[in-house]
């Protein structure tokens, strides 16, 4: 199988394109992180290039999104220069039936949370494998922590019943460092009964910058699936 015929890749492309098609001319667009959103950024760039889309400006949620936006010719701005975001497109690691999310597999959840919550319309792009009945079923909650507070934060999350693990980089050569210069602790909970409260509790631990639970934020979830070998979006 080549990359061009890989059904999973084709499905991510299709979801990304469906999200990119929701962007209207004149919009301020939050540009998310991850392999699915990368296709949305690519298609937004292609729509701009063809002239079908005009006068849009992007707000990147990560260095990765910034690099991709530049590659595909999307003009960028910062939150200092705008007073709202019309639409944000971003991926997720888990989605529950209430559209609550766990994000942060790419260690970008802090900026993602700022941008996604500011958007009038937040579109989540995922594959069907990300849907869960209850958050925390599979994925750990990523928690961005300032480096000097890693040990006390790990103790504090263990007291809450979580199993913390400092996220390591490729070949475990060192910890993953976020775009803000911090570290990420992945905290696995057996089950998250109350994501609203857990989000607040985690963020109240001194040294925690932001965690990857997103509640009451997503407006629409575009779900990609492979049916009979063909990519579909619902
Ligand atoms: C970001 O990218 C994250 O918050 C999430 O962890 C991840 C999803 O990436 P992918 O689309 O590659 O699964 O949006």
Sheet holding 85-90, edge to edge: 57-60, 28-31, 85-90, 119-127, 220-227, 230-233
- Taking the model in full, what pTM does it have? 0.95
| Catalytic site includes residue 66 | no
**Mutation to probe ligand 1, out of 17, 31, 33, 116 (largest number of atoms < 8 A from CB):** 33
Q: In the predicted model, what is the mean pLDDT of residues 82-105?
A: 97
**What is the per-residue pLDDT across 109-138, written as a single tens digit (0 to 9) for each?**
999 999 999 999 999 999 999 999 999 999
pLDDT of residue 3: 57
CATH topology of domain 139-209: Alpha-Beta Plaits (3.30.70)
Q: In the predicted model, what is the mean pLDDT of residues 83-103?
A: 97
pLDDT of residue 227: 86
Residue 106 Cα to ligand 1 midpoint, Å, equals 6
CB of 93 within 6 A of ligand 1: the answer is yes
- The full set of domain ranges for the chain reads 5-130+214-225, 139-209
Residue 142 Cα to ligand 1 midpoint, Å, equals 12
Tell me how many degrees the CA angle 62-63-66 measures, rounded to the nearest 5.
Answer: 90
- CATH code of the domain made up of 5-130+214-225: 3.40.50.1360
Closest by CA position to 126, among listed 151, 171, 96, 148: 96
**What is the per-residue pLDDT across 58-91, written as a single tens digit (0 to 9) for each?**
999 999 999 999 999 999 999 999 999 999 999 9
Point out the ligand 1 atom lying closest to the alpha carbon of residue 12: 11
Count Cα neighbours of 56 within 13 Å in the Cβ-side half-sphere.
32
**Three-state DSSP class for residue 203:** helix
**Mutation to probe ligand 1, out of 11, 95, 103 (largest number of atoms < 8 A from CB):** 103
Residue 149 Cα to ligand 1 midpoint, Å, equals 26
């Amino acid at each position: 199988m080549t990359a061009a015929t890989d059904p999973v890749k084709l499905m991510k492309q299709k979801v990304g394109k469906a999200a990119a098609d929701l962007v209207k001319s004149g919009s301020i667009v939050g540009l998310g992180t991850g392999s699915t959103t990368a296709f949305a950024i690519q298609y937004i760039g292609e729509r701009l290039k063809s002239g079908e889309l005009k006068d849009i400006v992007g707000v990147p949620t990560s260095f990765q999104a910034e690099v991709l936006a530049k590659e595909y010719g999307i003009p960028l701005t910062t939150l200092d220069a705008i007073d709202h975001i019309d639409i944000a497109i971003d991926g997720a690691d888990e989605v529950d039936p209430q559209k609550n999310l766990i994000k942060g597999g790419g260690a970008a959840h802090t900026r993602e949370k700022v941008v996604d919550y500011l958007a009038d319309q937040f579109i989540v792009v995922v594959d069907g494998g990300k849907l869960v009945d209850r958050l925390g079923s599979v994925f750990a909650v990523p928690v961005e922590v300032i480096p000097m507070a890693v040990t006390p934060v790990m103790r504090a999350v263990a007291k809450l019943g979580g199993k913390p693990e400092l996220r390591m980089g490729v070949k475990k050569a060192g910890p993953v460092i976020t775009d803000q210069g911090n570290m990420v602790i992945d905290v696995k909970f057996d089950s998250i009964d109350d994501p609203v409260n857990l989000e607040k509790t985690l963020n109240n631990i001194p040294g925690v910058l932001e965690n990857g639970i997103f509640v009451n934020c997503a407006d629409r979830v575009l779900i990609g699936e492979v049916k009979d070998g063909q990519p579909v979006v619902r």
